[in-house]
C-alpha cells in the first residue's frame, strides 16, 4: 500500500516540478484506551497504523514553498508568516510556522502530499499530515531533531495555528510508533513503555461516517471543562485529581462528570497495560467497553451512531470489546477482535449497523506499524 502511494507522489512530483524528491511517511493511529486524557497530562495507549501520509520534497532554490495536495489536485504557495485559511493548507503552513517558532527557518522547497489515512474518522490524519510535512521540512533545512521535539512542534502547529487545542498523543505516536506494539504513554513526562500486542488479535475499525470537525468547538469546550474542574479542585491539571477529591469538591454536575471521566480513564489505561502483559484480552475488551460508556455518559463526546456501533460490536461473537476512538462526536469505533473471526465479525457489525441506521459503514483491519520515517528504498 505504502509502495503505491510512494510511487504516486514521486510520479506526481516529477510531472509537476520535475526532478527526484526525497519521500517521508508518517502514520495515522489507533488508541486502544486513554481518550481525552492527554491534555490533562494523563495516560494513553496509542499505536501507529499502516495508513500513512507521504510527503515528497525537493529544495527549489527560492524563498517559496509550493505544495501540491495530489488527491485534491490543489496547489498552494506558502509565504513566510501565517494567515489562517480554514483549509488543509493551515496544517502545512502551521508546521512551517511552528518550526520558525523553534528557530528553524525552512528554505524554499516543493512538496507533494498524498495519503490513505481516512479523514475525520478519529485516526488522526491531521497528525500524519503534520508529522510527514515536518520531516520533509526538517530535511530541507538540514536539521536533525528528536522524535519528541517533532511531536511537540507538530502539536504546536495544530493547537496554535490550525486552532484545535489538542493534546500531544496523536503527534507523539505518529513520530514514535513501534511496529507490533502500543505505547503506554505518560503525557506528563512523555515517558513510555512498549505494550506488546498479542499476535492473535486484530484491530478492526468501523467508521460510523458521522463527522463533526474538532475545530467546531466541542473539543475545546471539553478541554475548558477539564481546566475548570482542575481549578475548582485547586490543581494545575486533572492528572492529579482523585475520586476522593471529587466527592469533596464543589463542582457543577457537568464539570464533575468530565473530571470523573478523566480520573476513571487514567485508571483504565493502567489496568489495560497490566491486562496486556498478562495477555488477558477479555479484560482489555471489558475496559474498552467501560471507556465507551464513560465517554458517552460522563464526557458526552459520543453520538447516537457511535453508541449503536459500539453496542453492536461489543455484543458480536469474536469481539472482546469496542469503543469510539479519537476526538469524538462521531468517527470510528475500534473493536478488539479474534484474528480468526475478524472478517465475519466485521460483516456482522456492518450489517446490523446498516439495519439500525441505514448507513453503510466502511471498515478496515489495521496493522500496527512503525512511526514516521524517510522512505529510502
**CA geometry: angle 364, 366, 372, nearest 5 deg:** 130
Interface with ligand GLA (CB under 6 A), residue from 21, 115, 327, 331: 327
Q: Is 113 helix (H, G, I), strand (E, B) or coil?
A: strand
Of 64-72, 136-144, 162-170, 334-342, which part binds ligand GLA (CB under 6 A)? 162-170
Q: Is 323 in the site for ligand GLA (CB under 6 A)?
A: no
Considering only residues 3 through 62, tell me which ones interact with ligand GLA, judged by CB under 6 A: 35-36, 38-39
Say if residues 52 and 132 touch (Cβ distance below 8 Å).
yes
Q: Is 115 in the site for ligand GLA (CB under 6 A)?
A: no
- Among 170, 186, 225, 300, the one annotated catalytic: 170
Taking the complex as a whole, how short is the minimal distance between the CB of residue 286 and ligand GLA, in angstroms? 20
DSSP assigned state of 339? G
Closer residue to ligand GLA (CB): 169 or 255:
169
**CA geometry: angle 325, 274, 267, nearest 5 deg:** 55
Q: Is 112 in the site for ligand GLA (CB under 6 A)?
A: no
Closer residue to ligand GLA (CB): 92 or 226:
226
Q: Is 265 in the site for ligand GLA (CB under 6 A)?
A: no
Q: How far apart are CA 251 and CA 262, in angstroms?
A: 15
Of 113-121, 161-169, 176-184, 271-279, which part binds ligand GLA (CB under 6 A)? 161-169
Q: Is 318 in the site for ligand GLA (CB under 6 A)?
A: no
Closer residue to ligand GLA (CB): 6 or 36:
36
27 Rama sector, left if φ>0, alpha if ψ -120 to 50, beta otherwise:
beta
Taking the complex as a whole, how short is the minimal distance between the CB of residue 278 and ligand GLA, in angstroms? 25
Interface with ligand GLA (CB under 6 A), residue from 69, 70, 138, 169: 169
Taking the complex as a whole, how short is the minimal distance between the CB of residue 269 and ligand GLA, in angstroms? 11
Rg for the chain, CA atoms, rounded: 20
Q: Is 124 in the site for ligand GLA (CB under 6 A)?
A: yes
| Interface characters, 221-260, with ligand GLA (x: CB under 6 A) | ----------------------------------------
Q: How far apart are CA 277 and CA 268, in angstroms?
A: 14
Half-sphere exposure of 99 (CA within 13 A, CB side): 26
Q: Among candidates 293, 275, 292, which has minimal Cα distance to 284?
A: 275
- Ordered alpha helix ranges (H), the chain: 2-16, 89-101, 125-140, 147-156, 169-176, 218-232, 243-248, 253-277, 281-297, 304-314, 342-357
Clarify whether 170 is annotated catalytic. yes
Q: Is 90 helix (H, G, I), strand (E, B) or coil?
A: helix
**Total of chain residues touching ligand GLA, rule CB under 6 A:** 11
Closer residue to ligand GLA (CB): 143 or 271:
271
Q: Among candidates 327, 356, 332, which has minimal Cα distance to 165?
A: 327
Q: How many CB atoms neighbour CB 209 within 10 A?
A: 18
Taking the complex as a whole, how short is the minimal distance between the CB of residue 168 and ligand GLA, in angstroms? 7
Taking the complex as a whole, how short is the minimal distance between the CB of residue 164 and ligand GLA, in angstroms? 7
Taking the complex as a whole, how short is the minimal distance between the CB of residue 108 and ligand GLA, in angstroms? 30
Q: How far apart are CA 212 and CA 326, in angstroms?
A: 12
Say if residues 273 and 309 touch (Cβ distance below 8 Å).
no
Taking the complex as a whole, how short is the minimal distance between the CB of residue 330 and ligand GLA, in angstroms? 12
Residues serving a catalytic function are 170
Binding site for ligand GLA (CB under 6 A): 35-36, 38-39, 124, 166-167, 169-170, 326-327
Amino acid at each position: 500500500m505504502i509502495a503505491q502511494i510512494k510511487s504516486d507522489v514521486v510520479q506526481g512530483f516529477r510531472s509537476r516540478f520535475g526532478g527526484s524528491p526525497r519521500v517521508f511517511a508518517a502514520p495515522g493511529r489507533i488508541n486502544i484506551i486513554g481518550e481525552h486524557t492527554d491534555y490533562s497530562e494523563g495516560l494513553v495507549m496509542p499505536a501507529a497504523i499502516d495508513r500513512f501520509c507521504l510527503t515528497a520534497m525537493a529544495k527549489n532554490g527560492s524563498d517559496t514553498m509550493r505544495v501540491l495536495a495530489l488527491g485534491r489536485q490543489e496547489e498552494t504557495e506558502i509565504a513566510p508568516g501565517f494567515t489562517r485559511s480554514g483549509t488543509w493548507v493551515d496544517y502545512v503552513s502551521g508546521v512551517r510556522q511552528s518550526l520558525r517558532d523553534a528557530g528553524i527557518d525552512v528554505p524554499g522547497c516543493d512538496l507533494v502530499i498524498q495519503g490513505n489515512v481516512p479523514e475525520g474518522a478519529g485516526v488522526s490524519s491531521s497528525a500524519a499530515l503534520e508529522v510527514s510535512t515536518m520531516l520533509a521540512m526538517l530535511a530541507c533545512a538540514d536539521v536533525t531533531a528528536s522524535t519528541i521535539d517533532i511531536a511537540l512542534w507538530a502539536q504546536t502547529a495544530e493547537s496554535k495555528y490550525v486552532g484545535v487545542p489538542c493534546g500531544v498523543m496523536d503527534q507523539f505516536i505518529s513520530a514514535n510508533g513501534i511496529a507490533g506494539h502500543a505505547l503506554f504513554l505518560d503525557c506528563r513526562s512523555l515517558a513510555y513503555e512498549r505494550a506488546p500486542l498479542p499476535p492473535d488479535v486484530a484491530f478492526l475499525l468501523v467508521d460510523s461516517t458521522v463527522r463533526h470537525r474538532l475545530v467546531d468547538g466541542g473539543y475545546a469546550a471539553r478541554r475548558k471543562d477539564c481546566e475548570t474542574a482542575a481549578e475548582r479542585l485547586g490543581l494545575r491539571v486533572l492528572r492529579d485529581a482523585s475520586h476522593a477529591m471529587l466527592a469533596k469538591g464543589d463542582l457543577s454536575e457537568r464539570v464533575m462528570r468530565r473530571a470523573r471521566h478523566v480520573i476513571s480513564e487514567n485508571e483504565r489505561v493502567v489496568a489495560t497495560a497490566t491486562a496486556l502483559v498478562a495477555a488477558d484480552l477479555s479484560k482489555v475488551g471489558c475496559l474498552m467497553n467501560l471507556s465507551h460508556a464513560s465517554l458517552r455518559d460522563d464526557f458526552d463526546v459520543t453520538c447516537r451512531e457511535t453508541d449503536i456501533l459500539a453496542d453492536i460490536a461489543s455484543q458480536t461473537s469474536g469481539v472482546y470489546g469496542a469503543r469510539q476512538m479519537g476526538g469524538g462526536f462521531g468517527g470510528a469505533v475500534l473493536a478488539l477482535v479474534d484474528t480468526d473471526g475478524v472478517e465475519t465479525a466485521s460483516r456482522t457489525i456492518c450489517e446490523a449497523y446498516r439495519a439500525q441506521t441505514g448507513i453503510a459503514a466502511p471498515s478496515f483491519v489495521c496493522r500496527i506499524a512503525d512511526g514516521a520515517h524517510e522512505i529510502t528504498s
